[in-house]
Structure 1
Amino acid sequence: MPFADRLNNVETSAIRELFKLLGKPGIISFAGGFPDSALFDVDGIREAVNAALSEEPGATLQYGATEGHPPLREQLAAFMASKGVRGLAANDLIVTTGSQQALDLLGKTLVSPGDKVIVEGPTFLATIQCFRLYGADLVTVPVDGQGAQTDRLEQLIAEHKPKFVYLIPTFGNPSGAMMSLERRKAVLRMAVKHGTLIVEDDPYGDLYFGDAPPPSLLALADEVPGARDVLVHCGSLSKVLSPGLRVGWMVGPAELLAKATMCKQFSDAHTSTFAQATAAQYLKAGRMPATLSRVRRVYAERAATMTTALRRELGDAIDFVAPQGGLFVWAWLTGAGGKVADGAVFAKKAIEQGVAFVPGAPFFANDPVHATLRLSFATAPLDKIEEGIQRLGKAL
């Protein structure tokens, strides 16, 4: 087949390929990046569906505006206001089919072949694939326990003059890192100083375990004059309500939203009005705080169980920063005592022991660190986490 040249820049997801190996009976998987379906508020979603069909059946089942279902846009603006974002109106955001579509729309509207785009190292694998599909030349800024290293980021911005910078400041996938307040403000200042667009992806910010994280870049933007003009914020209900609804949103400068809306018309016309009306009714009903409280409690316990077991079973052969939220533990193999020091090799040995995780190298756009790995604690009960980490210890 005469496929488009752009497909030469991307490969099949390493994570999706890994799932082909998970059919082995009895395998314990820490590989997925999805929430636990047992924690979905099924009763609340059912009530929201019934309310949508009762109150606005025509609008719920009909075609809708590409920008999004008006009641949902209003609810999302209120949801963002509850998280410290001031002055956000319904018309300041568009609804997307998951935040994944927001990234695709950014690629379509902003990236020409050869354009420089700065991403974190490591970063969300689908972001690497998406931006490369449109021909982006990806530049990597290193990440530590406090998120992207802002001193290095400013150097890269000055050197490469990128089309935009893509960051996951809060509990990044896969790093789990939480960017400090000081670094968040520094990012906004340098964005204004250099006139560089910053894309903030925030699917995990509500999944904190203790104290709330620092405000999002969007919530902080009013403290830095001009920052709103160079900031895009992508949100999602996938990790906190249901990924099956495929409801995300994008906040950004009006001219960018207009172009993104035009491109969305070409791709799916609009996000499912049924899903949007359901999400709007759910948010309107006020059930989200209780849902988040439950999810945070469960994930916090699972994260603590996993990190304790890793220290006990793998000892100094592994290193990591205990996550303060999100769905992942990002770890480094140290090779201490002659143990395995390559994530891909370790993954194969782990599968033989009946446990799966994702090697870390694919999460790097450049210069992959092969000693890394990502473990998700979200979907495994405590006993399976304990057993799975014991198996990891044997795989070393």
Structure 2
Amino acid sequence: MNWKLAARAEKMNPSVLREILKVTERPGIISLAGGLPSPKTFPISAFAEACAQVLSTQGEAALQYSASEGFAPLCQAVADMLPWKVDPAQVLITTGSQQGLDLVAKVLLDPGSRVLVETPTYLGALQAFAPMEPVPVGVASDAQGVLAEDLLAKAPGARFAYLLPNFQNPTGRTMSEARRAAVSAAAKSAGLPIVEDNPYGELWFDEAPPLPLTARNPEGCIYLGSFSKVLAPGLRLGFLVAPKAIFPKLLQAKQAADLHSPIFNQRMVFEVMKDGFLDRHVPTIRALYKRQRDAMVAALQREMKGLDVEFNTPAGGMFLWLRMPAGIDTVALLPKAVERGVAFVPGAPFYAGESDSRTLRLSFVTASVEEIEKAIAALAATVREQLAHQLAAKTEQLLASAATP
């Protein structure tokens, strides 16, 4: 048969992260690569009880088709837990927050549309946008996220800015209160919509992050959230909150995509949440992840000493960002690190434009403290070995040059 691909299919690429996860399945590999929540945080017993309760009291409805908007009590619960006034009619339950990105792309992007993103940004968003054939434009960013002045300069003609203010993937950085105020004001003055992605916002360690960008200008933002990081990713449940002017089109895109997200899962999540469970459960996740972050930072300080390796100390979330010494390409470094038993994600795929080949992302949430210490020691040994090879090669070149008549 002569299968002819659509132009949009030609734009699709395999997930770099998923390909790397295949490597981590090898025996003996400690993975600091995947953005997977720790299975230790999954409230299995709570879901077992909720499952029995839903089946025994709501079985027929839970196993039937349902409304595309989502389970009404769950939509209300989402509206109630957000820190600004939200009409539950503006809440759309999605099949993971990744579907929210897909719906936004379908509704707001045309081929050639400009979309502004942080430098670097979430790889999954770039993948979700790609089939609509937009032009992603990186906005200058620092340790606090995008620079408001560069956002404003690049705003004309852009369809929206995609931002992750809290414990960003991949860098782990958090946008400060002052920066949020400046970014929100810049976007509002330029008439630039913001798509705010906040899957990690509840995973703060010492203090909650500032108010979301959406809370400052609800009519100018679409807000994405997820149950994956606070309950379990296998449920594939997230949500978006959109202005009433754009909500109907997002709903139509949702109907065309999958009719509705699994209603059984929605009813289970509501059953688990309804008595304040998240208020008791999420602090246990924060405590676990903070211990593991501290272990990774301590190991990096110890093992990378003298190597000119830069790294941050995230205030929450799941990720830590490194920049290797000059001359080291982390794509080339990865297989050598795997040989020593540790995997990471190279930073280059997270950039919309010119990338920094010296960067990489580490996740500190699935490995134990002991594994983290072992993995960072292996990574440091790999870096030292690469630097030694570079020095030897440079010395050989100098000697060869000196010997040339």
Q: Does the pair score TM above 0.5?
A: yes
Matched to 2:104, the amino acid is L
Query: After the TM superposition, which residues 126-205 of structure 1 pair with which residues of structure 2 at under 5 Å, given as runs?
Result: 126-158=124-156, 161-205=157-201
The answer to whether the 8 A contact 2:166-2:173 is kept is yes
Structure-2 residue corresponding to 1:2: 4
What is the distance in 1 between the residues matched to 2:23 and 2:239?
33
What is the distance in 2 between the residues matched to 1:272 and 1:108?
21
Query: What TM-score comes out, normalization by structure 1 length?
Result: 0.93
Query: After the TM superposition, which residues 85-124 of structure 1 pair with which residues of structure 2 at under 5 Å, given as runs?
Result: 85=84, 87-124=85-122
Structure-1 residue corresponding to 2:294: 304
Structure-1 residue corresponding to 2:313: 322
Structure-2 residue corresponding to 1:11: 13
Matched to 1:97, the amino acid is T
Q: CA deviation at 1:147?
A: 1.5
Where structure 2 has 5 or more consecutive residues not aligned to the other structure, the ranges are 384-405
Q: CA deviation at 1:144?
A: 1.9
Structure-2 residue corresponding to 1:354: 341
Q: CA deviation at 1:365?
A: 1.2
Structure-1 residue corresponding to 2:277: 287
Please provide the CA RMSD for this pair: 1.2
Structure-2 residue corresponding to 1:27: 29
Q: CA deviation at 1:55?
A: 3.4
Residue 121 of structure 1 aligns to a residue in which SS? coil
Structure-2 residue corresponding to 1:230: 220
What is the distance in 2 between the residues matched to 1:177 and 1:346?
24
Residue 174 of structure 1 aligns to a residue in which SS? coil
Structure-1 residue corresponding to 2:328: 341
Query: What TM-score comes out, normalization by structure 2 length?
Result: 0.91
The answer to whether the 8 A contact 1:105-1:264 is kept is yes
The answer to whether the 8 A contact 1:167-1:199 is kept is yes
Residue 349 of structure 2 aligns to a residue in which SS? helix
Are residue 262 (structure 1) and residue 252 (structure 2) matched?
yes
State the Cα deviation string for residues 204-256 of structure 1 (Å, max 9, x = none): 0000111111111123x2xxxxx222111000000111111111111111132
Once the two structures are overlaid, the 10-residue window that deviates more, 27-36 or 58-67, is: 58-67
State the Cα deviation string for residues 297-340 of structure 1 (Å, max 9, x = none): 000010110011012111233111111101000110123xxxx6
Where structure 1 has 5 or more consecutive residues not aligned to the other structure, the ranges are 222-226
The answer to whether the 8 A contact 2:149-2:186 is kept is no
Q: CA deviation at 1:368?
A: 0.8
Residue 238 of structure 2 aligns to a residue in which SS? strand
The answer to whether the 8 A contact 1:360-1:373 is kept is yes
Structure-2 residue corresponding to 1:224: none
Structure-2 residue corresponding to 1:70: 72
Once the two structures are overlaid, the 10-residue window that deviates more, 282-291 or 371-380, is: 282-291
The answer to whether the 8 A contact 1:44-1:287 is kept is no
Residue 200 of structure 1 aligns to a residue in which SS? strand
Residue 274 of structure 2 aligns to a residue in which SS? helix
The answer to whether the 8 A contact 2:151-2:187 is kept is no
Matched to 2:23, the amino acid is L
Structure-2 residue corresponding to 1:389: 376
Residue 165 of structure 2 aligns to a residue in which SS? coil
Residue 74 of structure 2 aligns to a residue in which SS? helix
Once the two structures are overlaid, the 10-residue window that deviates more, 8-17 or 209-218, is: 8-17
What is the distance in 1 between the residues matched to 2:239 and 2:273?
14
State the Cα deviation string for residues 275-297 of structure 1 (Å, max 9, x = none): 10011111102111121100000
Question: Structure 1 vs Structure 2: percent identity of aligned residues?
Answer: 39
Matched to 2:81, the amino acid is F
Are residue 57 (structure 1) and residue 55 (structure 2) matched?
no
Are residue 363 (structure 1) and residue 350 (structure 2) matched?
yes
Once the two structures are overlaid, the 10-residue window that deviates more, 67-76 or 8-17, is: 8-17
